[in-house]
């Protein structure tokens, strides 16, 4: 969990040199998102702004609501585990025509992820999360932490519910990402989790970005920077999560896509799906 140095990043880029893409001229709305991510580590927008229209987002919202309304196994989760407040309603395997997949592989979404990483990324995972309020203090990912999935990575969060503070928004400490200037490590526990008080000594609390939003809100973040879910108090949060990594991540692939027409994929989509360039 040490700080990524300039040398580390240079070696990472060397390992991923075959995926390298130069800084391309993006549509202004997308360029603003990429620039914001590289500067702050996080940006918040509307998914229709990224996609260019509302249709796909609306179809994804209908799919999310159907999954939310299915009966769920309420088996007792281990005390203190993430499963006490987070349920994956969809994960692992998806059909190519699933609107979640179409969002995650949309050329404009990949343009943002790849523009930040400056390489063609792999879609490592895709999940629909439901998080719920629970009693007691903040635990697990409700505490400040950094992901160790890659040297840099991108996660896209798309809200399908109204996420106020009561529902536990994604919360980020700007400029703590590997490209930022706030890479000092706060005090932490044995699992590298930090409290608000500990993190505030590195980034003042009034600078934390609490990503509240209506359905359709989209957050792009490099979760190698410090982040958490604000502990929900009364409301639930329904959210799609797409995870993009380089060709040399530190965690295994966690996604299977069925029915992909590889001939119809763009070069970016092909790498995102198959983790390699088209022959």
How far apart are alpha carbons 276 and 17 in whole angstroms? Answer: 12
Q: What's the pTM value of the predicted model, to 2 decimals?
A: 0.95
pLDDT at position 83 is 78
Give the start-to-end residue ranges of the domains of the chain: 6-70+83-274
Mean pLDDT of 85-110: 96
For 150-179, the pLDDT digits (tens) are 999 999 999 999 999 999 999 999 999 999
How far apart are alpha carbons 210 and 170 in whole angstroms? Answer: 6
pLDDT at position 121 over 90: yes
Residues of the chain with pLDDT > 70: what percent?
Answer: 96
Q: Which residue's structure tokens are 């190698």?
A: 224
pLDDT at position 142 is 94
How far apart are alpha carbons 154 and 112 in whole angstroms? Answer: 9
Instruction: For residue 5, name the pLDDT band (cuts at 50, 70, 90).
Output: confident
How far apart are alpha carbons 273 and 176 in whole angstroms? Answer: 29
pLDDT at position 80 over 80: no
Question: Pick the residue with more confidence: 95 or 83?
Answer: 95
pLDDT at position 139 is 87
The CA-CA-CA angle for residues 170, 175, 181, to 5°, reads 160
pLDDT at position 149 is 96
Helix (H, G, I), strand (E, B) or coil at 145: strand
pLDDT at position 4 over 70: no
pLDDT at position 226 is 98
For 225-265, the pLDDT digits (tens) are 999 999 999 999 999 999 999 999 999 999 999 999 999 99
Half-sphere exposure of 229 (CA within 13 A, CB side): 27
6-70+83-274 under CATH 3.30.200.20, yes or no: no
Whole-number mean pLDDT of the chain? Answer: 93
Mean pLDDT of 93-115: 97
pLDDT at position 79 is 67
pLDDT at position 2 is 44
Instruction: For residue 66, name the pLDDT band (cuts at 50, 70, 90).
Output: very high
Mean pLDDT of 46-58: 95
For 182-217, the pLDDT digits (tens) are 989 999 999 999 999 999 999 999 999 999 999 999
Q: Is 59 exposed, middle or buried (0-12, 13-18, 19+ CB in 10 A)?
A: middle
pLDDT at position 1 over 50: no
Residues of the chain with pLDDT > 90: what percent?
Answer: 85
pLDDT at position 14 over 90: yes
pLDDT at position 56 is 97
Please answer whether residues 123 and 241 qualify as being in contact, where contact means their C-beta atoms are separated by less than 8 angstroms.
no
Instruction: For residue 69, name the pLDDT band (cuts at 50, 70, 90).
Output: very high
pLDDT at position 77 is 63
pLDDT at position 84 is 81
For 211-226, the pLDDT digits (tens) are 999 999 999 999 999 9
Residues in Cβ contact with 128 at an 8 Å cutoff, skipping those fewer than 6 apart = 64, 67, 88, 89, 90, 91, 100, 238, 239, 240, 241
């Amino acid at each position: 969990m040490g700080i990524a140095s300039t040398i580390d990043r240079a070696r990472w880029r060397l390992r991923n040199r075959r995926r390298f893409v130069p800084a391309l001229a993006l549509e202004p709305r997308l360029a603003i998102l990429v620039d914001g991510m590289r500067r702050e580590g996080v940006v918040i927008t509307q998914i229709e702004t990224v996609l260019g229209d509302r249709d796909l987002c609306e179809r994804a919202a209908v799919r999310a609501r159907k999954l939310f309304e299915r009966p769920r196994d309420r088996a007792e989760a281990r005390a203190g585990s993430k499963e006490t407040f987070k349920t994956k309603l969809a994960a692992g395997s998806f059909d190519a025509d699933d609107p979640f997949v179409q969002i995650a592989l949309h050329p404009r979404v990949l343009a943002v992820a790849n523009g930040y990483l400056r390489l063609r990324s792999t879609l490592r995972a895709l999940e629909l999360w439901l998080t719920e309020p629970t009693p007691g203090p903040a635990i697990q990912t409700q505490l400040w932490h950094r992901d160790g999935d890659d040297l840099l990575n991108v996660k896209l969060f798309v809200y399908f519910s109204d996420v106020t503070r009561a529902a536990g928004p994604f919360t980020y400490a700007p400029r703590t990402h590997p490209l930022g200037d706030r890479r000092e490590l706060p005090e932490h526990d044995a699992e590298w989790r930090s409290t608000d008080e500990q993190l505030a000594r590195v980034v003042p609390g009034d600078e934390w970005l609490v990503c509240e939003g209506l359905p359709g809100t989209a957050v792009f973040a490099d979760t190698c920077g410090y982040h958490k879910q604000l502990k929900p108090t009364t409301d639930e949060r329904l959210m799609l999560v797409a995870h993009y990594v380089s060709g040399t991540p530190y965690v295994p692939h966690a996604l299977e896509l069925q029915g992909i027409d590889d001939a119809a994929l763009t070069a970016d989509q092909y790498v995102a799906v198959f983790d390699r360039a088209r022959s």
